[in-house]
Chain A
Amino acid sequence: MSSLFFLFIFFLVVVAGAALFILFSRNIIHAAIALLCCFLGIAGIFVLLDAEFVGIAQIMVYIGGILILLIFGIMMTTRSSGPELPEKNRTNLGGFAFAAVVFGCLLLLIGRLHFPDSGSPERTDVIPFLGERLLTDYILPFELAGLILLLALVGAAYIAGQATEQNDTV
């Protein structure tokens, strides 16, 4: 329990610190690297919580897909001539106060809850169970997810790829 718990605390600190760094960083590339650390920490937490498949999927989808897309976007939408890519905050005090109020309310609600911390039913066959259920009980959401991915791909290519025919006008 103890070494596992220390690992858990480590991932917790990494995730929280990386998210804080994104909030206070002025450099978009640094923010993207911090987001990488954050996603890796979240994947580690998933693995520690007996959700290995979701942890690996988190790494593959978020880091291999979304983060690479975001970095491509950064490269395409910022001028690369300057030495760094500075970025200022839009509205300082109001946004921070709003988020702090939301965090306080959530903490207040969580503090009222009580959970039985032990006696969780451990499944030993999580990955076979996931695969079997995805193709039987969850087959309709599974196919719909594939359809959504296809639609998002076509839509994104349609939205972003029009500029060659009609340049600059809308």
Chain B
Amino acid sequence: MTKELLILSALLFSLGLAIVVVKKHAIVVLMGIELMLSAANINFITFSRHDPHIQGQFFTLFVLIVAASEAAVGLAIIIKLYRYLKTGDLNQAQTLKQ
């Protein structure tokens, strides 16, 4: 069961990476980042089964908090970008200043 979980986590991480690299809309890229964080969480929970002090579960809780903060700030930046560029397309976001 441990090995299947590790394979699922690797698959989820790779899919998240593919979404981040391939997708065009900024919000879908944010979804890919969340998928990668979830893959790390699955690994933590998997290994904390063999730990009497379940440290993996504590770390997962903190990863959840960081993921929530990251989503909030990332979404704020995307909305700002949309207001400036009038599109969510990452290919249009090429300039550093106006």
Interface residues of A (CB under 8 A from B): 5, 8, 12, 15-16, 19-20, 22-23, 28, 31-32, 35, 38-39, 42, 45-46, 49-51, 53-54, 57-58, 61-62, 65-66, 69-70, 72-74, 76-78, 87-92, 94-96, 98-100, 102-103, 106-107, 110, 113, 115-117, 120-121, 123, 126, 129-130, 133-134, 138, 141, 145, 148-149, 151-153, 155-157, 159-160, 163, 168, 170
Inter-chain contact B76/A89, CB cutoff 8 Å: no
Which residues of A have CB within 8 Å of B91?
Answer: 90
Inter-chain contact A15/B24, CB cutoff 8 Å: no
Describe B's contact surface by its main secondary structure: helix
Inter-chain contact B65/A70, CB cutoff 8 Å: no
Interface residues of B (CB under 8 A from A): 1-8, 10-19, 21-28, 30-32, 34-35, 38, 41-42, 45-46, 48-52, 54, 57-58, 60-62, 64-73, 75-80, 82-84, 88, 90-91, 98
Docked Cα-Cα span, A49 to B50, in Å, equals: 11
**Tally of contacts, chain A with chain B, CB under 8 A:** 220
Inter-chain contact A66/B73, CB cutoff 8 Å: no
Say which residue of B15, B21, B64 sits within 8 Å of A61 (CB atoms).
B64
Closest 6 CB pairs of A and B: A152-B69, A99-B18, A95-B21, A103-B14, A106-B10, A160-B76
